[in-house]
Structure 1
Amino acid sequence: MTATPTNRTRRAHRAGAALTALGLTALAAAPAAAAQAPAPAATQAAKSPLKWGACPAGSEAPRGTYCTRIKVPLDYAKPNGRQIALTLSSVGDAHAKRTLVVNPGGPGESGIGTAKLVWSSLPPELGELYNVVSFDPRGVGASTPVGCGDAGKLVKHPAPAYAPADAKAERARLDLSQKVADKCAAASKALLPHITTANAARDMDRIRAALGRDKLDYLGYSYGSRLGATYATLFPQRTGRMVLDSIVDPGLTGYRTSYEQNTAMQKRARQFFAWTAKYDSTYHLGKTASKVGAAWEDTRKRLRAKPAGGRAGIAELDDLLASVMYTDLQWGDLASAVAGYRRGDTGALLSAVNQLADSPAGYVNAAQLAYNCVDDAWPRDWRTWRKDTVASARKAPLFAWLNTWYSAPCAFWKAPTAKPVKIGATGAKKLPPILLLQAADDPATPLSGARRMRQALAGSRLVVAGGGNHGQFLFDANPCMDRHATRYLSTGKLPAKDATCKASPAPTP
């Protein structure tokens, strides 16, 4: 349900839409912007042949961003065969000493707007040392995209409850998942076998070369941690300073990761309920976490029986709850929307649901499915999914079925599973030092995965912050975490040992 191999982008797109509707911005806690203004990126670096100009119309690139395109092989086993396009974005001093390549997560997340987002949030010393480049990965947005036809129109709102009431409801959801897989295959058959994390990592080496850099300096959030670790495994000698933030478990398949997420998300929901109870004088949803939880269940039952505005039902409320698990900055607005609904004012809740349901990603994120369903092997026998989901729902009733249905098209996917890349050193290859950042209660990429990544990346260092906000460096207003990353990106020196930081302060209403 996040920027992890199974869920980050589907949740990120929807969370972004809901955030807008609820009047929030993910950058509310960002540090001061770097001091200098962006310079036109006409000559990225002395050794780079790239020519930078306007970004594609309709892209997510904000003002001050410059774009270019490069060609890469669709199939790296046939490097002289069909070529596809990657669109890159750049912000900052074109003649900066170093270039920081950034991936915001996903898979399937557009990166065109990320260069400006990150560069404007860097502390001054990093803004002077680096310009920032991001990109739409293969299969995404302004690069050669995959599509699923009109699959996004298959779900009407209010959508049926995620937890099926009976065998008929389950069969309807399952048929929908198969239709999505069929439409994706029909629209993107030639591309689907090649939309993999390993190929995206190989693309990043082409980006590095096109930028004229001997080594790749990299910042990857959530799924971007898997992409970065894959690059470091495939190209250790070309890996420069690398920060992986909110770490995907390198030892689990996407299928297994989703079940670990369910439990972590349920724990985070209890924290949200406890926070809401602390401010009962504002929200009036209950003075204890259990009472807020009971009020939440009552709200779900009401919306299931009679969707608000004929559009906001139980599934839409569940989507909103999953969306706000990523950062506590969103908690107050969702609590207010639900409190308003319970008082008879549906405005805020409907606004959030409408934007979430009508977001460009819609119900189907084609690129995310393309990566997820090919990167790992998924069970083809639906009885396995049902058994595992029923077991997970005992511990995570709010998220287990929701998470399963988002991934269910992988049970019917029409492309072969890619050869997996085992993260870590192989043979005589020695991995460079890498900095890992993680929140202790991150619901999307649980801490257990970060610890396994620490083991896989020999010589790396792991810094764990308290709290559960997903995405630490630059965007959680945690000076301790920012200091660790800034020092490393400035000097290349890791902490002497693994470290911890206190959580950033929780918000007030």
Structure 2
Amino acid sequence: MRPKRIVGGTAAVAGALSLLAVGMPATAHAAAPAAGPRWGTCPAGTDAPRGTYCSTLKVPLDHKKPDGRQIKLTLSIAGAGNAPRTLVVNPGGPGESGIGVAKLVWSSLPQKVAEKYNVVSFDPRGIGASTPVSCGDTGKLTKHPALPYTPANAGQEKKRLTVARKVAEQCQKHSRALLPHMTTENAARDMDRIRAALGKSKLDYLGYSYGTRLGATYATLFPKRTGRMVLDSVMDPTASSYTSQFQQNTALQHRAEQFFAWTAEHDRTYHLGTSRAKVAAAWEATRKKLDARPAGGRAGSAELDDLLASAMYTDLMWGDLARSVSDYRRGDAGGLLSATDQLAEGGVNPAMLAYSCVDDPWPRDWKTWRADTRASARKAPLFGWLNTWYSAPCAFWKARPTTPVKIGAVKVPPPLLLQAKDDAATPLAGARRMHTALKGSRLVVAGGGNHGQFLFDANSCVDKHGSRYLLTGKLPARDATCPATPAPKP
């Protein structure tokens, strides 16, 4: 659910975990649980809100060698303490911290559901307060303004490739022992260790975005230990990481066209054009102007592309982005620069690359990447190269890729799948393929395109389906649809 870091830029889902207060005592509504792991104060810097407790758990670096080197997982918990069930949550990524998620999810649940569940989340292996992957100091490799995503010439392409190669080399230098074991399968096996530590015979689970792949992998590996499972904003189980980036490009382009149309509807506010085509033309003119003369010396077309990609995850960001561009065109670059600086803070996300590059094979011949990216750019000119440059270190990754667990290879307890129709990060076609792979599952499709539906899109229909299932364990009798939440006002 949280920002996806990109080499030379950042595309991001809106940050939902801006809660502070690390390791504070519980409120009257959140008591420390008595059993299971030893829960205490959360580590500094984890953004764990008040009422959150943390613990650590040792797991094998290599699950094929359970008695070999152990690494640390950091877990968090929130809830009433004596709830009969525990819901384990993953917020997505891969590569995103989950420590702050436990309280965020628990406090968002309807009261009847919150009384029935404690909520546990965790930093997966390689991330944050767990044993982390590091790529060293990559700040010098990700200067701003970045080169345009679409190379204007061979020289620009070569410079971008050089950065990608150096990132891969630095990750290998700093995390050589970890990288071969940064896989979704290992993360799923870690979750079974969490289940056992919690004293539960079955894992109840809520996964968003990449968390749907993680949850489906767990269910495939441990079908008899799988309890109630909600998969929200569902990944395609049949697509490799390489292929999925091109699927995402097309969906991002479609969502951008919706954003331009929305902006045109509110031309009196933003003055970017009275039709989708006119807004698109104004957007392209802005990109060219930033290429010629970056705003503040640090925001060029690549930075604007990053902001656009971020806003495609939730329409709650549309107004701020349209306002920033509108103000810039009138001579005020303050909003544009502030947003650019915020996205640029993260730089390279080592854990996200580590999972992406090892989970399944990537082409090693750059000619293949170039040809596929150019084909994608013809359908998605605003995004054709963006995902490619984020993923480009995988062409030079030193750790050998693995063969992923085949989701759907065995019969699993059918989960509840929740999906937005125009979700750009995890397109609907992929959710339908997951629905087919997991026999007996139910798919609820909401209108709109916001990424992350259950509890966080104010969609009462979706929330009703998710809450009823968590309370009763009963899936809807059939697949269902829900209306979209209202479009944001300017």
TM value normalised by structure 1: 0.92
Aligned to 1:414: 398
Contact in 2 for aligned 1:425/1:431 (Cα 8 Å): no
Partner SS for 2:102: helix
Q: Distance in 2 between matches of 1:474 and 1:468?
A: 15
Q: Which amino acid aligns with 1:410?
A: C
Contact in 1 for aligned 2:420/2:451 (Cα 8 Å): yes
Contact in 2 for aligned 1:38/1:91 (Cα 8 Å): no
Partner SS for 1:87: strand
Q: Which amino acid aligns with 1:334?
A: L
Q: Distance in 2 between matches of 1:294 and 1:79?
A: 58
Aligned to 2:424: 443
Aligned to 1:41: 32
Match of 1:103 among 90, 97, 111: 90
Note the aligned Cα RMSD (angstroms): 1.7
Match of 1:502 among 480, 483, 487: 483
Q: Distance in 2 between matches of 1:425 and 1:305?
A: 52
Aligned to 2:167: 180
Partner SS for 1:244: strand
Match of 2:370 among 386, 405, 410: 386
TM value normalised by structure 2: 0.96
Shift of 1:37: 4.3
Change (3 A) 1:14 1:383: closer
Aligned to 2:387: 403
Aligned to 2:129: 142
Shift of 1:60: 2.2
Alignment of 1:221 onto 2:208? yes
Aligned to 2:24: none
Aligned to 2:280: 293
Question: What are the Cα deviations for residues 360-406 of structure 1, in whole angstroms up to 9, with x where unaligned?
Answer: x31x1100000000001000000000000001101101111111000
Unaligned runs of 5+ in 1: 29-35
Question: What are the Cα deviations for residues 302-340 of structure 1, in whole angstroms up to 9, with x where unaligned?
Answer: 111011111111111000000010000110000000000
Shift of 1:9: 3.1
Q: Distance in 2 between matches of 1:152 and 1:415?
A: 23
Q: Which amino acid aligns with 1:455?
A: T
Aligned to 1:171: 158
**Matched ranges for 1:55-134 at <5 A:** 55-134=42-121
Contact in 1 for aligned 2:105/2:119 (Cα 8 Å): yes
Q: Distance in 1 between matches of 2:29 and 2:164?
A: 45
**Matched ranges for 1:299-338 at <5 A:** 299-338=286-325
Shift of 1:425: 4.0
Shift of 1:136: 0.1
Contact in 1 for aligned 2:14/2:313 (Cα 8 Å): no
Alignment of 1:424 onto 2:408? yes
Shift of 1:64: 1.6
Q: Distance in 2 between matches of 1:397 and 1:26?
A: 32
Q: Distance in 2 between matches of 1:500 and 1:151?
A: 44
Shift of 1:58: 1.2
Contact in 2 for aligned 1:27/1:475 (Cα 8 Å): no
Aligned to 2:446: 465
Change (3 A) 1:221 1:272: same
Q: Distance in 2 between matches of 1:447 and 1:354?
A: 32
Aligned to 2:435: 454
Contact in 1 for aligned 2:17/2:104 (Cα 8 Å): no
Q: Distance in 2 between matches of 1:37 and 1:103?
A: 26
Q: Which amino acid aligns with 2:300?
A: G
Alignment of 1:374 onto 2:358? yes
Q: Distance in 1 between matches of 2:52 and 2:10?
A: 24
Unaligned runs of 5+ in 2: 20-26
Q: Which amino acid aligns with 1:9?
A: K
Aligned to 1:9: 4
Partner SS for 1:468: coil
Contact in 2 for aligned 1:243/1:435 (Cα 8 Å): yes
Partner SS for 1:218: strand
Question: What are the Cα deviations for residues 129-159 of structure 1, in whole angstroms up to 9, with x where unaligned?
Answer: 1111000000000000000011243121111
Q: Which amino acid aligns with 1:388?
A: D
Contact in 1 for aligned 2:417/2:441 (Cα 8 Å): yes
Partner SS for 1:397: coil
Q: Distance in 1 between matches of 2:159 and 2:28?
A: 53
Aligned residues: 481
Contact in 1 for aligned 2:361/2:403 (Cα 8 Å): no
Partner SS for 2:277: helix
Question: What are the Cα deviations for residues 232-275 of structure 1, in whole angstroms up to 9, with x where unaligned?
Answer: 00000000000000000000100000000000000000000000
Contact in 1 for aligned 2:17/2:100 (Cα 8 Å): no
Partner SS for 1:217: strand
Q: Distance in 2 between matches of 1:497 and 1:26?
A: 33
Alignment of 1:434 onto 2:421? no
Q: Distance in 1 between matches of 2:18 and 2:55?
A: 26
Partner SS for 1:415: coil
Q: Which amino acid aligns with 1:384?
A: T
Shift of 1:19: 5.7
Aligned to 1:33: none
Change (3 A) 1:349 1:252: same
Q: Percent identity of the aligned residues?
A: 70
Shift of 1:63: 1.9
Contact in 2 for aligned 1:72/1:84 (Cα 8 Å): yes
Q: Distance in 2 between matches of 1:193 and 1:143?
A: 17
Match of 1:258 among 245, 260, 264: 245
Aligned to 2:23: none
Question: What are the Cα deviations for residues 332-366 of structure 1, in whole angstroms up to 9, with x where unaligned?
Answer: 000000000001011111111111112xx31x110
Shift of 1:441: 0.6
